[in-house]
Amino acid sequence: IYERFGLNARQIEILSRATPKRDYYCQSRRGNRLFELGLGEVALTFAAASSKTDQLAIADIIETHGAPAFAAEWLRHRGCAWAVELLPPDPPRQPQQELPL
């Protein structure tokens, strides 16, 4: 698969030694570089949710609980309920004003 992205044998070797979900390879006009993106458990809960199963679970959570509750429900779903208390409190809802006709 990496050949289809235009990587050579050396670049593929570098990637083979990289740690998934931690090390990333960047190609640009200025050069190529393997770098570490040291995301913690909570950040990975959101950033690494790309599988079809994850996408279905995300859609289900939003449908069931609504978008405003997504972060808390997703953390619970992924086994990080302890992190829910780290989320900012919901802002108070402003009453909707009716517009004059």
Mean pLDDT on 59-65 = 96
pLDDT of res. 83? 96
Tokens of 74: 């997703």
Q: Is the pLDDT of residue 17 over 70?
A: yes
pTM > 0.85: yes or no: no
Contact partners, residue 82, CB within 8 Å, separation at least 6:
none
Q: In the chain, what are the domain boundaries?
A: 3-36, 41-86
Nearest of 93, 77, 80 to residue 42 by alpha carbon? 80
Residue 20 three-state SS: coil
Give the tens place of pLDDT for each residue, 52-61. 999 999 999 9
